[in-house]
Amino acid sequence: MNPKKLTTTLTHFALVTLSCLFLFPFLWLLDTAVKPISETMRQPPVWIPSKFEFGNFWEAVNYGSDKVGYIPFLVYAQNTLMLAILVVTGTVVSNAIVAYSFARVRWWGRDIVFAVTLATMMVPFPVMMVPTFTIFKHLNWIGTYRPLWVPAWFGSAFSIFLLRQFFKTIPFELSEAAKIDGAGEWTIFRSIILPLSKPALSVVALFSFMGTWNDFLGPLIYLLRQETFTLSLGLEFYHSKAGGTEWNLLMAATSIVILPVLVVFFFCQKQFIKGISITGIK
């Protein structure tokens, strides 16, 4: 074997081994999710269930609807989805407008404000947790969804940065030409920049969808009543701290929570990877 071929073989070997290590937890998740409860806790572990219990997914979604420990999974899913729609819409609309201003309009102090904007990405959230909570308490918003979605309509540093980088790549001649024809900034933004920026806008939408779907701390702080919880909070109810967790149902519920994120990723892989790559390049 020549050295070049050896390197290729070794690379493949390393990639396959690592892939197995990375995938294994997910395979085990799915494996557990379709097992009968009696086989989840057997020693040594049962690798292939004697019977594939696809009913587990159904049972997890309607968990205990006849008992005291009812977990309204579908209500949580609905809450999460509604919240995600509000956040994604707000994020895309507000950040597009703001990023346009930073990328393509000249105004006094713009670059200083932008530098400050970038710097705020370093501020850890815990330092602002208490005062932010206090603001929403004074507004009487605790226990509602508003603390979770209203701020999204006022822009976020990360999305502004991402969109600004993209808007800057659109040729400025297009704007100049439109200006000579008498178009104002709003018209240029609506009819030239936005239509050309669909890829970047979808990246921002994707990130904010993922962020909302995955958010744990926000709902933990602001939501009080169980029926308003999101999936992140609701999932915990399947895990009993006193023992006796029905692991197959917990894993089934977990798979369902993961699923939408994976589906979104597979359909938008290209934009996704592009978006993440942009964040690393200054």
Partner 1 sequence: MMRRKEARAGFLFALPWLFGLLAFMFYPLLMSLYYSFCDYSALRSPVWIGTDNYAELFHDEVFWTCVKNTLFYACFSLPLGMAMAIGLAMLLNTNVKGMTVYRTIFFIPSLVPMVSLAMLWLWILNGDYGVLNNALATFGIKGPNWLSDIAWTKPALILMSVWGVGNSMLIYLASLQDVPTSLLEASELDGASAWQKTRNVTLPMISPVIQFNMVMGIIGSLQVFAIPFVMFPAGIPARSTYFYAMYLYDNAFVYSRMGYASAMGWILFIVILLLTLIALKLSNKHVHYGGV
Q: How far apart are CA 232 and CA 148, in angstroms?
A: 14
Q: In this complex, which beta carbon is closest to partner 1, that of residue 134 or of residue 169?
A: 134
- Site for partner 1 contains 8 (CB under 8 A): yes
Interacting positions 43-102 with partner 1 (CB under 8 A): 43-45, 94, 97-98, 100-102
Residue 70 CB, nearest approach to partner 1 (Å): 19
3-state secondary structure the chain: CCHHHHHHHHHHHHHHHHHHHHHHHHHHHHHHHCCCHHHHCCCCCCCCCCCCCCHHHHHHHCCCCCCCCCCCHHHHHHHHHHHHHHHHHHHHHHHHHHHHHHHHCCCCCHHHHHHHHHHHCCCCCHHHHHHHHHHHHHCCCCCCCHHHHHHHHHCCHHHHHHHHHHHHCCCHHHHHHHHHCCCCHHHHHHHHHHHHCHHHHHHHHHHHHHHHHHCCHHHHHHCCCHHHCCHHHHHHHHCCCCCCCCHHHHHHHHHHHHHHHHHHHHHCHHHHHHHHHHHCCC
- Site for partner 1 contains 242 (CB under 8 A): no
Residue 45 CB, nearest approach to partner 1 (Å): 5
Q: How far apart are CA 116 and CA 93, in angstroms?
A: 21
Residue 252 CB, nearest approach to partner 1 (Å): 11
- Site for partner 1 contains 123 (CB under 8 A): yes
Among 36, 64, 144, 236, interactor with partner 1 by CB under 8 A? 236
Q: Which stretch binds partner 1 (CB under 8 A): 26-34, 58-66, 69-77, 194-202?
A: 26-34
Residue 55 CB, nearest approach to partner 1 (Å): 20
- Site for partner 1 contains 105 (CB under 8 A): yes
Q: Which stretch binds partner 1 (CB under 8 A): 48-56, 68-76, 116-124, 190-198?
A: 116-124
- Site for partner 1 contains 261 (CB under 8 A): yes
- Site for partner 1 contains 177 (CB under 8 A): no
Number of residues that bind partner 1 (CB under 8 A): 94
- Site for partner 1 contains 169 (CB under 8 A): no
What is the per-residue binding string for partner 1 in 127-166, x denoting contact by CB under 8 A?
A: xxxxxxxxx-x-------------x-xxxx---x------
**Residue matched to tokens 């006193």:** 242
Q: Which stretch binds partner 1 (CB under 8 A): 48-56, 59-67, 71-79, 252-260?
A: 252-260
